[in-house]
Structure 1
Amino acid sequence: MSTSHWAIAVHGGAGTIERRHLRPEQEAAYRAALGRVAEAGGVVLRAGGSALDAIEAAIHLLEDDPLFNAGRGAVFTARGANELDASIMDGATLAAGAVAGVTRTRHPISLARAVMERSSHVLLVGAGADAFSKANGVEQADPSYFFTERRWRSLENFAKAHDLPVPPRPAGDHRPDPVHALAHDEGKYGTVGVVALDISGNVAAGTSTGGTTGKQWGRVGDSPVIGAGTYASNAACAVSATGTGEYFIRLGVAHEIAALVEHKGLSLQAAADIVIQDKLTALGGDGGIIAVAPDGQVAWSYNTSGMYRASLAANRPLVVGIYKDEP
């Protein structure tokens, strides 16, 4: 792709996403949502805002949209809770922040940014992360806010299929899910992420997820792990990943792509394809990434049947894709 003064790419998860699985109205809903998210980030970047600000604004929309497995659309753990993970990284300074297993923060990406900017740490987890969130004035939400009926039914089906007990239905005022009829179960790969390049030449990346349905024992995937699910460096690129987190952690996928760009001089697309199509596939993992480089290159690569994705740049129109046979 040609270079540009600013650029943004968005993903809404990879997985078993094929034309035969989505009704026309479902496909239209996902395309519209991805377009809105990319445009929201573009508004920030056009106005000279930072890549970090664009990422936070865009992921807020994804975390508020029950179509996606993040924030209000998050899946349930085996014990019937929503445990949220997120991370963010600044390519200009290599500063990073991440949280895992949070339960009371409306926008986990904002909490990850607060960890990056208001603490001396990179990763906070569980009750400590929730306490830090409240103490630092990050917007709170009752756990019932994250409840959606379709995700609860997914947990019930998972528990029955794996001979696990179905936990008690969470208490609280569960509001109607406005997209219940439109949402598609992307499988176990649901995550959202955004990468951006601002007009100052800085890149950044952010990722947010509810994890996997029925996860147990405090399982944490790659989304809050810097270098696995999220990485950004002005010396190379910014990457956000989605997929089977255990494999992304073992390969250090996001950093591996950046290392190939920085140290091998590969194009962004070539680096992404080597890691996703070759290394990840050979290991038995599946999923995908979005990436942006300081020179304006934008790339995505995935080895699943589909990935919800979009990109927008100063000199390029909005592109939205879902299936393998799209650009």
Structure 2
Amino acid sequence: MIVRLLLWMMLMTAATADAARPAKPVLLIHGGAGVIRSTLTPQVEQAVRADLARALDAGYAVLEAGGSALDAVARAVVVLEDSPHFNAGKGAVFTHEGRNELDASIMDGATRRAGAVAGVRHVRNPVLLARAVMDKSPHVLLIGEGAEAFGRTVGGIDFVEPAYFHTDERWRQLQEALQKEAAGQSSSLGRAIHYGTVGAVALDSHGRLAAATSTGGMTNKRWGRVGDSPIIGAGTYADARCAVSATGWGEFFIRATVARDICARVEYGRQPLLKAARAVVMDTIPALGGDGGVIAVDADGNFTLPFNTDGMYRGWVGRDGKAHVAILADED
């Protein structure tokens, strides 16, 4: 009897220690879905993989140090925004008028606080302005000049001249789109071959989840068009069970409230994250006529990166602590 009691106490002590031990964190990132093999040169591929790896390293370093999922996703997205190879921040595409209009959002799953900005033109890292909206204002979404005016009152936001966002590749893409439009070959919001939105989701060692997304929108967009990236529940969502960042044809992701739908399936339908995300990305969105992908992680550290396009710039660090970067569909 005494031996059994001692064994029971040892087992209980071990179980308590395991419960108290911080869980290994998880980080996922994306740099856009819709990659076409024929347009991916070896030089671009090498640069993209290197920048994805840098973003993973930056975000995961926050998590390894015991930092929050919220800080980790913001840090990873900043690295992607600073790269010219993704349609966010430095690499943002041009509007019909030849401007860069940037959108971003961020959400804390532990509290369901969120912040977002849309149509900003002078903010180097829109995700940081979205974070400021969440942390330092009573609002969730600010747009255009008002968002920038708010940013100048809080400090810590880098403002740049519009020329900072100019890249020759994005300008060439606009000229091609304008020529096609003039020839009646496409509309101003026609299907793009690459949705360069960037994003990150994370689970930290304390079990907290967060998500963030940033984009330059669609090449040749007009009339102040805003896609799903700054829309909480469409392009970004996080709660205590699930965190999602999306990339794709924004109009369809808004109509399907993609990010929230995935998390609602997990919460109310008790669906495994993999099944929930796959159903939305592989069934719901194509049925509406759209395409794209998501990255998602749940509170147990399960994660998935489904997409219905030729590829998606993506990277992940699971509970094993190993970093992975991939682009095309056959790399997983």
Partner of 2:260: 255
Q: Within 1, Cα distance between the matches of 2:128 and 2:286?
A: 32
Q: Equivalences for 1:105-254 in 2 at 5 Å?
A: 105-137=123-155, 138-163=157-182, 187-234=193-240, 236-254=241-259
3-state SS of the aligned residue for 2:305? Answer: strand
CA 1:157–1:21: 2 relative to 1, 3 Å: closer
The one of 317, 324, 331 equivalent to 1:319 is 324
Whichever structure has more helix as a proportion of its residues is 2
- Do the aligned residues in 1 keep the contact of 2:296 with 2:304 (CA within 8 Å)? yes
Q: Decide whether the 8 Å contact of 2:234 with 2:260 is kept in 1.
A: yes
Q: Distance in 1 between matches of 2:23 and 2:67?
A: 15
Q: Return the letter of the residue paired with 2:77.
A: I
Q: So what's the TM-score if we normalise by structure 2? A: 0.88
1:170 maps to none
**What is the root-mean-square deviation in Å for CA atoms of aligned residues?**
1.4
Given that 2:32 and 2:196 are in contact with CA atoms closer than 8 Å, whether structure 1 keeps it comes out as yes
Contact 2:23 2:206 in 1 (8 A): no
**1:17 aligned residue:** 36
Could you tell me which amino acid in structure 1 is paired with residue 288 of structure 2?
A: L
SS at match of 2:178: helix
1:134 Cα shift? 1.4
Distance 1:210 1:188 in 2: 12
How much does 1:109 deviate? 0.1
For structure 1, the 5+ residue unaligned runs are 165-185
Q: Are residue 302 (structure 1) and residue 317 (structure 2) matched?
A: no
How far does the alpha carbon of each residue in 1:194-245 deviate from its partner, in whole angstroms, 9 at most, with x for none? 00111110000000000000100000000000000000001x2100000000
Is the CA contact 1:4–1:295 (under 8 Å) kept in the aligned structure 2?
no
Higher relative contact order structure (alpha carbons within 8 Å, sequence separation ≥ 6) = 1
Question: Stretches of 4+ moved more than 6 A in 1?
Answer: none
Give the gaps of 5 or more residues in structure 2: 1-21, 184-191
Equivalent residues of 1:231, 1:255 under 8 A apart: yes
**Residue matched to 1:90:** 108
Residue type of the partner of 1:244? W
Supply the distance in 1 between the matched residues of 2:52 and 2:145 (Cα, whole angstroms).
Answer: 32
- What is the CA deviation profile of residues 157-203 of structure 1, one whole-angstrom value per residue up to 9, with x for unaligned ones? 11111129xxxxxxxxxxxxxxxxxxxxx835110000011111000
Deviation per CA, 1:57-103, whole angstroms, max 9, x where unpaired? 11111111000000010001111110000000000000000000001
- What is the TM-score with the length of structure 1 in the denominator? 0.90
* Structure 1 position 25, deviation (Å): 2.8
Q: Determine whether 1:30 maps to 2:48.
A: yes
Which of these residues, 275, 279, 283, is aligned with residue 274 of structure 1? Answer: 279
Alpha-carbon contact 1:17-1:307 (below 8 Å) kept:
no
The number of residues matched between the two structures is: 302
Secondary structure at 1:151 match in 2: helix
Alpha-carbon deviation of 1:129? 0.6
What is the distance in 2 between the residues matched to 1:79 and 1:273?
37
CA–CA distance in 1 between the matches of 2:267 and 2:53?
30
Verify the 8 A CA contact 1:188 1:213 in the aligned structure 2.
Answer: no
Q: In the alignment, is the contact (CA less than 8 A) between 2:35 and 2:194 conserved in 1?
A: no
**Deviation of the 1:296 alpha carbon:** 0.6
